[in-house]
Amino acid sequence: MDDKLKNIAWHIQQETQQLVARLIQKAIDDTGETNIVISGGYGLNCVANYFYKKTFPNINLYIDPLSHDGGTALGLALLSWYSQNPESKPKKLKNLYLSAPPDYSDIEQTLKQLPTMESKDVNPDDVAQLLVDGNIVSLFNGRAEGGPRALGNRSILFDPRVKDGKNIVNKVKGREWFRPF
């Protein structure tokens, strides 16, 4: 990436975190509330989150562990539930596994529709060899985790030593060039 694009990305980072900091300050000023929750896609911005912690040392900043840029605002759903059911006591999430246990019965049928895909049981040595051979490996094991970042049960693996690995994976996934991997 050339310096012009890096400078644009840096500038956007600075401007957006300043804008959100002004919104946080306005919320504090308007409500007196010092318990602040950041959710949604912007909650994924760890650089900005550290900036807010430093900028607002006297607030309780909570970053939703299920922040997601796909429009799934679990925090808003919970707020709505507890607003409509005030007798309910808020419960802490015990884990991020929000899906039902997987049903593996239709995997073989699905794979028949994807002729370039292969499925097989493997061990860690097999996975390591696939990666060394330049393959992208998809890991599917157990229940799906809530949130956009896999915790191990749903992962896409690629050899990090490959210079343009991020671009290769993003191309296969049909993602924009700036997406992290």
Q: Over the stretch 84-94, which tens digit does the pLDDT of each residue have?
A: 988 887 777 67
Residues 6+ apart with CB under 8 A from 45: 13, 16, 17
Predicted model pTM? 0.49
Amino acid at 69: D
Antiparallel, parallel or unpaired: β 154-157 and 137-140 = antiparallel
Asked whether the predicted pLDDT for residue 116 surpasses 80, the reply is: no
- pLDDT tens digits for range 26-46: 999 999 999 988 877 777 788
In 3D, which of 109, 108, 162 has the Cα closest to residue 135? 162
pLDDT of residue 25: 96
**19 close to 45: Cβ distance less than 8 angstroms:** no
- pLDDT tens digits for range 156-178: 889 989 988 888 888 888 877 76
pLDDT bracket for residue 179 (50, 70, 90): low
- pLDDT tens digits for range 42-72: 777 888 999 999 999 999 988 877 776 655 5
**143 close to 101: Cβ distance less than 8 angstroms:** yes
Strand boundaries in 26-114, DSSP class E: 35-38, 60-63
Asked whether the predicted pLDDT for residue 17 surpasses 90, the reply is: yes
Asked whether the predicted pLDDT for residue 95 surpasses 90, the reply is: no
Residues 6+ apart with CB under 8 A from 99: 143, 144, 145, 146
